Structure 1
Amino acid sequence: MQAAYDDTFSVLSHPSLDQAGGGRSTITKASNKDVSIESADLLRGSKTLEIRHNGSLYLLRTTKLGKLILTK
């Protein structure tokens, strides 16, 4: 297993996303297969995020209790 390291990548631009971070996010990569990213980096201050995957649209939402819900 490789040692963990930090990498920076561009995140999607969306009107609902807070652009204070300049559209950049830091991820931690433990190996070639494992990637970890903070939910706050994905949501960028918004309560919802649209995710397109294999031609389908999903909605990632945060609840009042701070949990995440992914729906199609």
Structure 2
Amino acid sequence: MTSDGASQRQPQPAASRPAPRSEPGRPPVDSATLLQGGRCVEIRHNGEVYRLQATRLGKLILTK
């Protein structure tokens, strides 16, 4: 709490935040479809190249 009695809001951990929604009517794309059997795919977006990687633990990492 602060000295005036108001509590400060802490950012929520990523696991407790709601997932962003895709456009209505568009189903989610399966990661296997994007990765096409590999562990990494490059994605071009607005002239920049990003890498989507699958980890050994089954998580996804997106880097610029």
| TM-score, normalized by the shorter chain, greater than 0.5 | yes
What is the letter of the counterpart of residue 29 of structure 2? I
Gaps of 5+ in 2: 1-22
**Bigger CA radius of gyration:** 2
- Higher strand content, 1 or 2: 1
Q: What TM-score does the superposition give when structure 1 sets the normalisation length?
A: 0.53
Name the one with the larger helix percent: 2
Return the offset for 1:35. 3.5
Question: What per-residue deviation string (whole Å, max 9, x for no partner) do you get for residues 31-56 of structure 1?
Answer: 1xx44110001101100000000000
Matched residues, percent identical?
52
Q: What RMSD in Å do the two structures reach over aligned CA positions?
A: 1.7
TM-score (norm 2): 0.59
